[in-house]
Amino acid sequence: MLRLLNIEWEKLRSYRAFWVMVVLYVFVLFSMIFAVPALLDYIADHAKENLALKAFKAIVFNFPDIWQNIAFVASMRGFIKIFLAILVMIFITNEFSFLTIRTNILNGMSRGEFITGKLLVIFFLTLLSTLAVFFAGMYLGFTQSPVRSVSAVFSKMHYLLAYFLEVFTYLTFALMIGVLIRKTGFAVIVLLLYLIIEPIIQYYVPDDFDKYLPLNAMNHLIWSPNTSLIKVKTPEFNMDFQEFISWADAGICFLYVIIFISAIYLFLRKKDL
Amino acid sequence: MTPVLQITDLSKNYGRLKAVDGLNLTVEKGNVYGLLGPNGSGKTTTLGIVLDIIKTPTGTYRWFGEEPGHHSRKRIGATLETPYFYPYLSAVNNLRIVARIKEKPFDKIDEALKTVDLYHRKNDKFRTYSLGMKQRLAIAAALVGEPEVLILDEPTNGLDPLGIAEIRNLVNRIANQGMTIILASHILDEVQKMCSHVAVLRTGKILFNGNVAEALNENDIIELSSNNLALLSNALNSFEGIQEIRKEGSLLVIKVKKDINPSDVNEFLIEKGIVLSHLSLRKKTLEQQFIEVLQS
Ligand SMILES: Nc1ncnc2c1ncn2[C@@H]1O[C@H](COP(=O)(O)OP(=O)(O)OP(=O)(O)O)[C@@H](O)[C@H]1O
Ligand SMILES: [Mg+2]
């Protein structure tokens, strides 16, 4: 494992474009999360009926709901995690367009090791992203939340685990597309197109099956924000909000990770390089 | 002793095209084996298969007697066709990856770069290298980690005359240290200058396989025959210019010293009163085979 990580580290260490993208991603992620309170203030100041908004702002960043809320924002479909996915596509398709995968293999890597190395990079990118959300949550929570008890701070942190799983599944999906398509530009286009393709597929498959489609499955892990106020139901405002993470949803994501990795392996196993 | 590489009945088809066709080859430790054949004869394909780059062949191969697997490849230093490295990384950083993969220390990297005369450019990005420099880096990569076998696929491709001479000297130097080398080339002269053994390939088949010294003997080989072979053999024994006499069916085959030609032999035998029914010069086998290959 350490050897494979070292190898990937050597490849990326002085790859400027990669690190520029990583910094850009963290920057965009932070500005998204930090922009929310300012944005709410701005809207509240300019709206007539600003009481509701003010109340909303006062509670979205409350511990412990904040974890669910920012994890929800950071993992939205077609949103900034696409940045990470494109990063993954670039480093995997590079191996094919520079044919460096060939050099790797003939120097003594197995195809399985090659894939494992890439999964390790994905793991650390996901970890980086989760840590960024964690620190953003800590900062926003401690500056905005009136509740700061230890139990409140930590109680919904498993939403970060769900966030981790969701991003990891998505990046494995991106890795698979990268391996299957091999051309950077084309792979990115397919990744973006799939955002439109899946709803079309969803239209044609039976409704019961909807939630098993990959993007739906990933998004269903954290499917709504939540606050104490939202639980209040009135005839005009009667919506369901996510109260817990379902093991079934997590299971489906795990299954997808396994499917994507197997697809990559089966594809590369017999492939001339 | 287990051979370094043993290839048995190896074939690889691309659709109807047989790129490698029932190939058998044994490379022993210390051999400098040339794979000689014209473009498209299956040299790269053969090397690609034994390096696990090309999949789904039939037949088997064994490195160091082991089942095929990536661990044996760590003991091999190889170049295959065009060099492929990370363009945004320097030569050193590219070689660090190679060393990491092979689980070898970094301290031989500088030496490898010096060997191929790239040391002064070691921190330049691969992208900025010329074709010949890329080729040299590939050879340096093959040398990283002190491999037990060196595989060089057209190592002088794209090099200038000086570079070609350097690489040939390098190969000879390494070979003299006892390393096993497999070298693919379509240049007869190259194989002749560097290799101890040669396999001549055409359309995926081996046409000739053996010792270069034997195949490319500087001394000529002459076939003779007469009514009385015993008498002929006796007479020849007293001929100064002969190195070796061998019987092949109804022929006597003799290896003669340099500058002796068939007419010298004939003259000598006429003096002895022997009349020949057959006299002919056998050409150098490798050259003969290779020219045949090129002409077809
Ligand atoms: N990926 C492929 N698909 C189809 N045919 C191929 C493929 N790779 C090689 N071939 C064919 O296999 C045959 C052997 O090719 P190979 O590259 O092994 O030749 P070579 O001896 O290395 O030639 P050269 O001296 O030009 O390097 C050729 O006829 C070639 O066209
Ligand atoms: Mg070739």
Q: Do B271 and B189 belong together in one domain?
A: no
Q: Do B124 and B258 belong together in one domain?
A: no
**C-alpha distances in Å from residue A33, one per residue of A126, A133, A134, B148:** 17, 8, 11, 56
Q: Do B170 and B226 belong together in one domain?
A: no
Select from B101, B150, B182 the residue whose CB has the most chain A CBs within 10 Å, as the one to mutate to test that interface: B101
**CA distance to partner chain B, nearest, from residue A114 (Å):** 10
Q: What is the mean pLDDT of residues B30-54?
A: 93
Write out the residues surrounding ion ligand 2, Cβ under 5 A: B 44
Q: Is residue B290 part of a domain?
A: no
Q: Do B167 and B237 belong together in one domain?
A: no
Q: Closest Cα partner for B154 from B118, B178, B187?
A: B187
Atom of ligand 1 nearest to the CA of B35: 21
Select from A106, A113, A268, A273 the residue whose CB has the most chain B CBs within 10 Å, as the one to mutate to test that interface: A106
Q: Is residue B142 part of a domain?
A: yes
Please work out whether the CB of residue B44 comes within 6 Å of at least one atom of ligand 1: yes
**Cα distance between residue A172 and residue A261, in whole Å:** 7
User: Which residue in B has a C-alpha nearest to residue A94's C-alpha?
Assistant: B86
What phi and psi values does residue B248 have, to the nearest 5 degrees?
-130, 95
Q: Is residue B206 part of a domain?
A: yes
Q: Do B144 and B246 belong together in one domain?
A: no
| CATH value at residue B258 | 3.30.70
Rg over alpha carbons for chain A, rounded to the nearest Å, is 21
Q: Do B248 and B109 belong together in one domain?
A: no
Domain that holds residue A97: 2-269
Domain count, chain A: 1
Contact B74 A110 (CB under 8 A): no
Q: Which residues of B touch A273 (CB under 8 A)?
A: 53-54
**Cα distance between residue A169 and residue A266, in whole Å:** 18
By alpha-carbon position, which residue is closest to atom 4 of ligand 1?
B14
Q: What is the pTM of this model?
A: 0.85
What phi and psi values does residue A113 have, to the nearest 5 degrees?
-65, -40
Amino acid at B249: G
Contact B90 A3 (CB under 8 A): no
Please work out whether the CB of residue B14 comes within 6 Å of at least one atom of ligand 1: yes
Q: Is A105 an interface residue toward B (CB < 8 Å)?
A: yes
Residue where one domain finishes, among candidates B215, B232, B247: B215
Q: Do B162 and B263 belong together in one domain?
A: no
A226 — alpha (psi -120 to 50), left (phi > 0) or beta? beta
Q: Is residue B80 part of a domain?
A: yes
Q: Is residue B73 part of a domain?
A: yes
**C-alpha distances in Å from residue A201, one per residue of A138, A157, A188, A206, A208:** 39, 34, 20, 10, 13
Q: Is residue B175 part of a domain?
A: yes
Domain count, chain B: 2
Tokens of A230: 């939202």
**Cα distance between residue B31 and residue B149, in whole Å:** 10
Contact B70 A98 (CB under 8 A): no
Residue where one domain finishes, among candidates B172, B190, B215: B215
Q: Which residues of B touch A11 (CB under 8 A)?
A: 86, 89, 97
Q: Do B174 and B225 belong together in one domain?
A: no
Tokens of B54: 């090309």
Q: Is residue B25 part of a domain?
A: yes
pLDDT > 90 fraction of chain B, expressed in percent and rounded? 48
**Cα distance between residue B142 and residue B293, in whole Å:** 30
Contact B100 A7 (CB under 8 A): yes
Q: Do B211 and B228 belong together in one domain?
A: no
Domain that holds residue B245: 221-283
**Cα distance between residue B266 and residue B279, in whole Å:** 8
Please work out whether the CB of residue B185 comes within 6 Å of at least one atom of ligand 1: no
Residue where one domain finishes, among candidates B155, B189, B215: B215
Q: List chain A pLDDT tens, one digit each, 273 residues.
A: 899 999 999 999 999 999 999 999 988 888 877 777 777 777 777 766 666 666 666 667 777 777 887 888 787 766 778 889 999 999 999 999 999 999 999 999 999 999 999 999 999 999 999 999 898 888 888 887 777 777 777 777 788 898 999 999 999 999 999 999 999 999 999 999 998 888 888 888 888 888 888 888 787 777 667 665 555 555 555 556 666 677 878 888 999 999 999 999 999 998 888
Q: Which residues of B90-111 are buried (b: 16+ CB within 10 A; e: fewer)?
A: bbbbbbbbbbbbbebeeebbee
Q: Do B156 and B245 belong together in one domain?
A: no
Enter the ipTM: 0.87
CB pairs < 8 Å spanning A and B: 83
What is the pLDDT, as a whole number, of residue B49?
Answer: 95
What is the pLDDT, as a whole number, of residue B241?
Answer: 80
Q: How far is the CA of B204 from the centre of ligand 2 (A)?
A: 12
Q: B289: Cβ–Cβ under 8 A, 6 or more apart, which residues?
A: B200, B207, B208, B215
Which residue from B76, B83, B93 is facing A10, i.e. has the nearest CB? B93
By alpha-carbon position, which residue is closest to atom 8 of ligand 1?
B45
| pLDDT tens digits, B13-22 | 999 999 999 9
Q: Is residue B292 part of a domain?
A: no
Please work out whether the CB of residue B17 comes within 6 Å of at least one atom of ligand 1: yes
Burial of B248 (0-12, 13-18, 19+ CB in 10 A): exposed
Please work out whether the CB of residue B13 comes within 6 Å of at least one atom of ligand 1: no
Give me the sheet containing B278-282, strands edge to edge: B242-248, B251-256, B221-225, B278-282
Q: Do B106 and B242 belong together in one domain?
A: no
Which residue from A11, A16, A110 is facing B97, i.e. has the nearest CB? A11
Tokens of A195: 């955002």
3-state secondary structure of B65: coil
